[in-house]
Amino acid sequence: MPVSPILERQTTYPFVRLNEAAQRVRERGVEVFDFGMGDPREPTDPKIRQALVDGLRDRMGYPTAVGLPELREAIAGWAARRFGTTLDPDTEIIPTLGSKEAIFSFALAVVDADGARDTVAYTDPGYPVYERGALFAHARPLALPLREEHGFLPELDAIDDETWARLAVFWINYPNNPTGATAPLAFYEQLAALAREHGFVIASDEAYTELWFDDPPASALQLADRTNIVAFNTLSKRSSMTGYRSGFAAGDPALIAALKAFRPTVGTAPQEFVQRASVVAWGDEAHVAETRERYRRKRALFLQLFERKGVRIAGSEATMYVWAAVPDGESSESFAGRLLEHGILIAPGSYLGDAGVGYFRVALVPSEEDCARAVEILERAL
């Protein structure tokens, strides 16, 4: 049977391995608290659910790739309120089916792998989809390590001229999964100047901009000059809508035009009833503020526990993740294995990239009650 060699070379998606290990522990009768994957288990706001139901009609035709004008206007309105930025709903925004598919296929739309610009850079540890999208587009993947001593920002000064010249896409992701680090606007400004100078695209994955605890994080959309810049955002984390699949790409009109040309072939326009629900979700901040408060309380439980136990917290400024150093003498995987024996499933940092070795990630997705029960278990296990 013909199978893509790229697919054959691909290792199992790390979370599949993690869930298999958890299943084996469950089969032994141990209750497992799942802090592994970042799939929020918070309920979706009733107004949003109702809008989805109301959006169902006798016949639902094919949705168009550019989406409903109401949805693009709702996104532009949100971006204006949140980032003080003006986006033209017709030329600077396109809806996506969640953001994962759009992130995966972005390299296919913009990279000329046979040309001089064949490289897609992304940060490590990180979301695995940037690299996989690059590989399937036959681009050259380049992992840039995120180091704690550098605030979990990529070291731009360490990139040589040859690499800049070959760079097609530079993926950044702040607030960052998995480290929870944020990036100041000055970082976006510095990278945007380099993108203009060297002619590469900045793809800014902003899935976690709304899960913050101190100051609202910056966005690439705040830059006055958005040449070569596209930002991806999503309702998945902000509005606990992972199952709806609704997000958007916004930025440089030339890049949005490329996506408008590419995406109808892929067939990734969100269903119209999902778009209707999304209009309501982007238009409301009250449910987002409540969600943030819930994460804030859950996060405090873990930060206090780790402080009491001498576990060193790193990054962890925003997002639904706590990123911390594994205790001395243990590896990321042995530590995760030990906690799993107690019924606590966390992600070893090594599963999230080579530079994640020595760390672990807690996704604050179980209910507050389950978080409190898990903290009690960890109180004894750590």
Ligand X SMILES: Cc1ncc(COP(=O)(O)O)c(C=O)c1O
With binding defined as CB under 6 A, does residue 231 bind ligand X? no
Q: What is the DSSP letter of 204?
A: E
For residue 125, is the peptide bond before it cis, meaning its omega torsion is within 30 degrees of 0? yes
> Which C-beta is closer to ligand X: that of 298 or that of 361?
361
- Which one of the spans 16-24, 69-77, 93-101, 271-279 is the region binding ligand X (CB under 6 A)? 93-101
C-alpha atoms less than 13 angstroms from C-alpha of 221 in its C-beta half-sphere: 27
With binding defined as CB under 6 A, does residue 177 bind ligand X? yes
C-alpha atoms less than 13 angstroms from C-alpha of 307 in its C-beta half-sphere: 6
With binding defined as CB under 6 A, does residue 217 bind ligand X? no
> Which C-beta is closer to ligand X: that of 99 or that of 271?
99
With binding defined as CB under 6 A, does residue 105 bind ligand X? no
Among 83, 104, 122, 127, binds ligand X (CB under 6 A): 127
At closest approach, how far in Å is the CB of 7 from ligand X?
A: 20
At closest approach, how far in Å is the CB of 116 from ligand X?
A: 29
Number of C-beta neighbours around residue 148 at 10 A: 16
Cα 318 to Cα 175: distance, rounded to the nearest angstrom = 6
CB under 8 Å to 227, separation ≥6 — which residues?
Answer: 192, 195, 196, 252
Number of C-beta neighbours around residue 248 at 10 A: 28
Structure tokens at 81: 């309120």
With binding defined as CB under 6 A, does residue 205 bind ligand X? yes
With binding defined as CB under 6 A, does residue 98 bind ligand X? yes
Phi-psi region of 283 (alpha: psi -120 to 50; beta: other; left: phi over 0): alpha
Helix (H) or strand (E) holding 195: helix 185-198
With binding defined as CB under 6 A, does residue 99 bind ligand X? yes
Residue 71: what residue type? L
> For ligand X, what does the binding mask look like between residues 251 and 290, x meaning CB under 6 A?
----------------------------------------
Among 38, 55, 67, 251, binds ligand X (CB under 6 A): 38
Summarize as ranges the residues that interact with ligand X (CB under 6 A).
38, 98-100, 103, 127, 173, 177, 205, 207, 234, 236, 242, 247
